[in-house]
A and B are shown apart, each in its own frame.
Chain A
Amino acid sequence: MNKMVLNNTVLNNAVLEKNAELSRRTFIVGSAAVAGGGLALGLNVPFGIEEAQAQSAPAATEVNIWVAIKPDDTCVIRVARSEMGQGTITGLAQLVAEELECDWSKVTTEGITPGRNLASKRAWGEMGTGGSRGIRTSQDYVRRGGAVARMMLMQAAADQWNVPVAELTVSNGVITHAASKRSIRYGEVAAAAAKLTPPDAKSIKLKDPKDWKIAGKPLKRLDTADKLDGSKIFAIDLKLPGMLCAAIKDCPVFGGKLKSYDESKVAGMPGVKKVVRVKDTGVAVVADTWWRAKKALEALPIVWDEGPNTSQSSATIAEMLKEGLTATATNGERKNGDALKAIGEAAKKVEAVYATPFLAHAPMEMMNCTVKLSADRADAWTATQNLEASLAALSEASGIPLEKCEVHRHDLGGGFGRRGGTQDYVHQAVEIAKAFPDTPVKMIWSREEDQAHDFYRPISQCKMSAGLDAAGNLTGLHVRVSGQSINSMLNPKGIVDGKDMRQLQGYYDTPGDAQLGYDVPNLLIEYAMRNSHVPVGPWRGVNTNQNAVYMECFMEEVAKAAGKDSLEFRRALMKNHPKHLAVLNAAAEKGDWGKPLPAGVHRGIAQFMGYGSYSAAVAEVSVSPQGKLKVHRMVLAVNSGHAVNPGQIEAQVQGSVAFGLTATLYGEMPVENGRVTNLNFDTYEIMRLAEMPKVEVAIVPTYDFWGGIGEPTICVVAPAVLNAIYAATGKPVRSLPLKNVKLA
């Protein structure tokens, strides 16, 4: 593996699909090792949830870094990635357990902390969890980790019985020597196994997925029990001895600063300890409880220097984007043939302009972080998609060396890309904690603060033009995306020679990750970067979401102009893209494409690719004479290569419909006077259960690659629904959200 460089710039990049390697104030952590690389060193860290649990349970013997086994045969499988609901813990444990050949009913998991990973020369590899990469980029080494542990356990049994290891078999954590009718449990040989030299992990032949017994099965999640009785401790729930709580407010206008505040007005309020300036832009009240801190913060007179952006609004930003639709210079393109000429000479020309808004992530658990600083030690407790990024932020902000820092893991109450690279909330919590040495301070953002200071899904517009010949064949396609750049905000080195291909995600020529599934004889796809002052970042599904709306809604308009069926028109362009086509066909078949529907119900279809997986959807909707939309049924098909847990894939796809429909129906973050306006769920509406359509999922793996599942299906939800609305009303919808669109 590559040498990994851990620094703030990388951390900003941490959730990006591409694993860019950047450096600023570099700290070389060392080369990442694969499984079997020897004993891990546990750091003795106070108050860690996982350590506390480990201490109260019988000791486990570490066989290798991925597997520890207790005398009662409990298999503790180590997980480095973050769990935010997407099921990664369960999926990764299945992959280890599959090769380990243990008893699944005796599997528990243990989360690795970044300090422990660092102290072990990053033995557990990369910890970042984003870009739907949790399983696909660690599946190989975690499976090898399970296999190494199995071989060591079997060797220990062979040594004990003095028989060749080849004569042994293993099943469900029980090793058997058939010839002598002896058997022994993993718990009985773990201690001896741990003393053996591990075999070379890379030389092991892993199981053919066809032979999987634990992986590939729709097993229930391992992490459900404490979500049912309130006992799960999210970072926001943390209680530590002597802990104080902080409520924070940053300048509501992006680019503005904190001018002054009058602490005397809140100094006597119940529980209030201190008012703290947080860098140049924010102010926090620290009190004995968070509610008291928040109440005092609301009472605190604050003067802002709102800076240069107060005249910015949704209207000014839309104007800027509109200019980008026709500007001469561009920031990235893909082309073959001469699209402009082909369209100019076409028998029929189709043109449309689409628009999608800024969106907030709005995870149910708002940003929060607890920090305790001492003279030579820094601890943080937080929910993060990148534990190592959090560790680096803690070190950088506190000035305490990385090896004297630790970030204690908490599963996330939603991530969706918000808790990846930026680590802004960790930096803030450290600044606040500096005012209270040796005291843990828990900073929690209010919902309003969480909405007001997100890194939003980038806003964009797209102008689409197509040419058809007399027979209705697509001869030329011109795509011009004008919008804000994530790389410009978070990862400038991802922009090479002024070209930022990331904003064209899903339109790529290159196979494997986010390839366009259509061949057009004359194709021109361009990106014009137009950046507003509003911060942007990766939002679950990232640029596939907007780009799928543009491409798939326009394909619908073009198919209609050509007088062809939506499915047949697409199929004709997909002959060289069998995987895209197979998934489209799977959705069409399960979604009853072409079959009769009840009166008033109409279908729409869409397909797209992102995160290494192929997705397609069929939506069934009706629109009442008053223009009220109902989404009755959605059928989605997905090929993620392998399907480690079909039950969790189904759950992710169901969830992606809710996430995608919320954006389709309601999602928008308007800008007025330089600030965003939809600060809570009364105005930033989220879809509820009553609007959830019946979702059916076709999981159609081809077992020849590893794709992602946390994100890829979101992007087909909106275009499938919009295309069904088009079928119902005869009018295409070209801007989101639908709450602003009159359908009747």
Chain B
Amino acid sequence: MAKLNINGTVREVSAEADTPLLWVIREHVGLTGTKYGCGIAQCGACSVHVNGEVQRSCSIPVGDVKETDLIVTIEGLSVGASHPVQKAWASVDVPQCGYCQSGQIMAAAALLKKNPKPTDKDIDEAMTNICRCGTYQRIREAVHVAAGVGTTGRSGG
């Protein structure tokens, strides 16, 4: 029985110690916004924040997570999708299929926390998650918008 602090709530989970944090979050805690994409820390669909750092939860055994570790998933990033990254993603109309976007948003939020005004090069280095639909150009634009240094000329309601 492990105790996990997820989105500010401490929960007891009965998962084997080698179970990846991703699958504990999805199947034991029931939060499915964090996605399975590769299982080998390549794609970033499973990105969560652990103590403020973006981490790929598919490759963290739950046995290595302490009760004092603060885990934040996409569901806990904000109330009502009010985080500047989420608002920027909406204003730039970033998602296509949407499957990778939880991870992309978590990666962008972690980037901006460390580096509030990232350059294109900073974005290149931090945003390494895979998007198969190819929303990369709008992700870049939305990160700048979230940082308050970009504008979107997109219309529509």
Interface residues, chain A, CB within 8 Å of chain B? 84-87, 104-105, 217-221, 223-234, 236-237, 239, 245, 270, 289-292, 295, 362-366, 411-416, 444, 446-447, 647, 651, 654-659, 680-682, 686, 688-690, 692, 694-695
Contacts and interface: CB of A to CB of B under 8 A. Distances in A.
Nearest to A219: B156
Q: Tell me if B's interface is mostly helix, strand, loop or mixed.
A: loop
B40 A680 contact: yes
Contacts, number: 193
Contact of A227 (B30, B34, B95): B95
A688 B134 CA distance: 9
B28 A218 contact: no
A230 B130 contact: no
B73 interface: yes
B23 A291 contact: yes
19 contacts: A104-B157, A218-B156, A223-B98, A228-B86, A230-B74, A231-B75, A239-B32, A289-B28, A290-B23, A363-B99, A363-B132, A413-B35, A413-B97, A658-B135, A680-B39, A680-B42, A689-B123, A689-B124, A689-B131
Contacts of A686: 43, 130, 132
Contacts of B30: 239
Interface string B127-139: 1111111111111
Interface of B: 15-16, 18-20, 23, 26-28, 30-40, 42-43, 45, 73-75, 77-78, 80-81, 86, 89-90, 93-102, 105, 123-125, 127-140, 154-157
Nearest to B28: A289
Given A364-B43, A682-B40, A232 B155 contact: no
A364 B18 CA distance: 24
Contacts of A292: 16
B2 to A, nearest CB: 14
Contact of A220 (B33, B42, B134, B157): B157
Q: Is the interface of A mostly helix, strand, loop or mixed?
A: loop
Contacts of A416: 132
Nearest to A688: B128
B128 A105 contact: no
B43 A228 contact: no
B93 A221 contact: yes
A447 B133 contact: no
A413 B133 CA distance: 9
Given A86-B96, A291-B20, A227 B134 contact: no
Given A218-B155, A289-B28, A681-B38, A230 B134 contact: no
A610 B86 CA distance: 36
B140 A364 contact: no
Contact of B127 (A87, A289, A689): A689
Contacts of A104: 157
B1 to A, nearest CB: 13
B100 A364 contact: yes
B99 A364 contact: yes
A103 to B, nearest CB: 10
B140 A227 contact: no
Most buried by B among A218, A230, A365, A658: A230
Contacts of A365: 35, 97, 99
Contacts of A657: 134
Contact of A655 (B27, B73, B86, B133): B133
B137 A692 contact: yes
Contacts of B74: 229-230
Given A655-B134, A689-B123, 15 more contacts: A85-B95, A85-B133, A105-B157, A224-B93, A227-B95, A229-B33, A234-B99, A289-B23, A364-B131, A444-B36, A651-B96, A689-B136, A690-B124, A690-B127, A692-B140
B81 A228 contact: yes
B140 A220 contact: no
A227 B101 contact: yes
A363 B35 CA distance: 13
Nearest to A686: B130
A230 B32 CA distance: 7
A414 B133 contact: yes
